[in-house]
Amino acid sequence: MPRMHTLTHFRLCPHSRSVRLLLAELDIGFALIEERPWEYRPELMAMNPAGELPVLALEGGPVLCGSYAISEYVAEDVKTNLRERFAPPIFPGSRDDRAEVRRLVDWFHGKLNREVTREILEERVYRAYRMNGAAAPDVAILRAVRENLRYHMSYIAYLAHQRQWLAGDEMSFADLAAAAHLSCLDYLGEVPWDEYEPARIWYARIKSRPAFRPLLADRISGVAAPGHYADLDF
């Protein structure tokens, strides 16, 4: 039994990053254990038969698999003892407001992941690791996926222009999910910030939060982050 909560993650996994942000925003302490998800190690499969990240093993509690189960579990936590001090809800507002948060979480962790983040990570990171750096990305795939990213950037800019935060008046898990994906893509220098000013302003705001600092300190071998990655005034 672990002596504290442990989060099994990969540094550039967007689902893992959204949960790191979530736990930090809620002031829930945790230790990190890194897995390379493409290795499907037996130790990971034993914790999560799906072989997916992140996995949150709560001290003296259950093992929670995936950002969906984890986020809803900690969102139910207002009345219990995981939290060390008051933190605002991450599915805020009315029931209708929460449906909007969840629609957008689904958008970022489902659609944006499928159409952009997972493809770029596979082409530029995972495959190179699996093949010890010998794999060149498929240029045609990258071109198509970068075009998809422009569509998603437009939508994020539209939301950021209309609203205080992406799902409404308050910051929510939708912001954390979107920021998690964009932070992975930004690490890889893939985000055309200049063309989507409201998205850039929103991202600069969320990036300057204390919860974001550990992500900005992450580096992975073989891929250098661009100079603006950790710059709060990028």
Does 111 participate in binding a copy of itself (rule CB under 8 A)? yes
Angle (deg, nearest 10), helices 173-187 and 66-75: 140
Task: Please report, as residue ranges, which positions from 46 to 105 form the binding site for a copy of itself (by CB under 8 A).
Answer: 49-50, 52, 61-62, 64-66, 68-70, 72-73, 76, 95-96, 98-100, 102-103, 105
Does 38 participate in binding a copy of itself (rule CB under 8 A)? no
Nearer to a copy of itself, 157 or 215 (CB): 157
Q: Check residue 226 and report its DSSP letter.
A: P
Cα dihedral 93, 99, 101, 102 sign? positive
Size of the site for a copy of itself (CB under 8 A): 28
Minimum CB separation of residue 64 from a copy of itself in Å reads 5
Task: Please report, as residue ranges, which positions from 208 to 227 form the binding site for a copy of itself (by CB under 8 A).
Answer: none
Does 144 participate in binding a copy of itself (rule CB under 8 A)? no
* Separation of alpha carbons 182 and 178, rounded Å: 6
Give Rg (Cα) of the chain: 17
What type of residue is 103?
R
Spacing of C-alpha 146 from chain mean position: 19
Q: Check residue 209 and report its DSSP letter.
A: S
Task: Please report, as residue ranges, which positions from 145 to 164 form the binding site for a copy of itself (by CB under 8 A).
Answer: 155
Nearer to a copy of itself, 155 or 229 (CB): 155
Q: What's the start-to-end Cα distance of the chain, in Å?
A: 42
Please report, as ranges, the residues that interact with a copy of itself according to CB under 8 A: 49-50, 52, 61-62, 64-66, 68-70, 72-73, 76, 95-96, 98-100, 102-103, 105-107, 110-111, 114, 155
